[in-house]
Amino acid sequence: MTKGPGGSGINSSSTRLMWKIGIATCCRILLNTARRFVYPFAPVLSRGLGVPLTAITSIIAINQLTGVLGPVFGPLGDRWGYRIMLISGMGMLAGGMLAAGFFPFYGVIVIALFLAGLGKNIFDPAIQGYVGRQVPYRKRGFAIGIMEVSWAGSTLIGIPLAGVLIGYFGWRAPFLVLGGLALIGMIAIGVMIPSRRLPAENSQPPVSLLGAWTMLCRKRTSAGILFFSFLVSAANDIFFVVYGVWLEHSFGLSIVVLGSTAILIGLAELLGEGLTATMADRFGLKQTAVVALVLSMASYAVLPFLGQTIGTALIAIFIVFVFVELSIVTTLSLSTEILPHARATMMSGYIGTAGLGRVCGALMGGVVWIQGGIAGIALVSVLMSILAFIALLWALRNWNPLQ
């Protein structure tokens, strides 16, 4: 069996672990695709269901609320074991998607997408906690970086394939395919992840839900990481929600061209995740996270100056998302070692505060754009990134993951 942080395993154990990470990455591509494919195909779904477009956008809002419920399940993963939470998350996705495909009614779609979002917020902290328990810290950036490729993968692979399925077989096809693949993923997780509980990593027993969140807020390192997660996500979404308006306003781009920028962002996210996987362990997770955040601040700051032509504007957008993704995924990797006895609790807190930050950033972005344009957006994103930088330094001061 592969040993915990600081240990090493035999080749067969390492190979088996890589299979587990590969399966988990595929499962997360399904979860991310199920959550994101509704955005570009909302008009198709509204016509297929015979409901107004606003009814579909309401589903999206409901789906976002699952991020608030996700942190409730993190402590359960630490108490009951990661396997049951992983299987439960994929089971929710499979059940929801298949129900939506076989029973094409608006109420069923609402429940299906709610289950998909909830399944993601149950699955993610559990798999990150499991990888944190199984993979030595010195290789953690590689493992988490590989799994985070699933986010870009949903943009570059999942959503385009959903479009092909809709074009050839109708709007119900993505639900049926995602549901069937999720069922296979659930079975694969059940086979690959052992049913027995992992041996205790230290003498501290799992804590209650209330105790877990009290611990997160009282411990300087975990509290600082939560502040970082909120602030860096808010800073990015302030820009993300208006970048299309900026390009349309400045260069008169069509809707089709604006939609293609999603591919650019997907490639930027893929590069950021790839840099985490290939470089972060070599240079150190702490150092990489700090440098990436500084570079993301700089990339926000130059937005107004690079936005003079469409080419430089697209380059600026690409750079922003590369460094933001690098800072987020690298910090995500080191966060798996913040609370070794409550990894899933820590990761659910990280994901939950990031989701809250995205909501706040989305609400702020439109207001800031109206008041200050792209210069105002850049200024506010830089200021929030500076606060995130302070929170990160405060969290990691005197923190040694190998103690």
How many helices (H) and strands (E) in the chain? 17, 0
**What's the rounded Cα separation, in Å, for the pair 64 and 66?**
5
CB-CB contact of 174 with 116 (8 Å) = no
Domains of the chain: 12-140+151-192 (1.20.1250.20), 209-396 (1.20.1250.20)
Confidence at residue 180, expressed as pLDDT on a 0 to 100 scale:
97
> What pLDDT, on the 0 to 100 scale, is given for residue 8?
40
> Which element (helix H / strand E) includes 49?
helix 42-49
Cβ atoms of 348 and 70 closer than 8 Å: yes
Interatomic CA distance for residues 193 and 191, integer angstroms: 6
At residue 11, the pLDDT reads: 63
SS3 content of the chain, % helix, strand, coil (to 5): 85, 0, 15
Which residue intervals of 51-207 are DSSP H helices? 53-80, 82-102, 106-134, 140-153, 159-169, 173-192
Residue 395 has a pLDDT of 93
Beta strands in 176-283 (DSSP E): none
Q: Where are the alpha helices (DSSP H) in 276-342?
A: 281-283, 285-301, 303-306, 310-335
Mean pLDDT in consecutive groups of 10 residues from the start of the chain, 403 residues: 42 81 94 85 86 78 71 77 92 96 93 92 91 89 92 88 90 96 95 67 52 77 94 92 83 70 88 93 93 96 90 93 95 90 86 86 87 94 97 90 61
Q: How many CA atoms lie within 13 A of 16 on its CB side?
A: 14
pLDDT at res. 243: 85
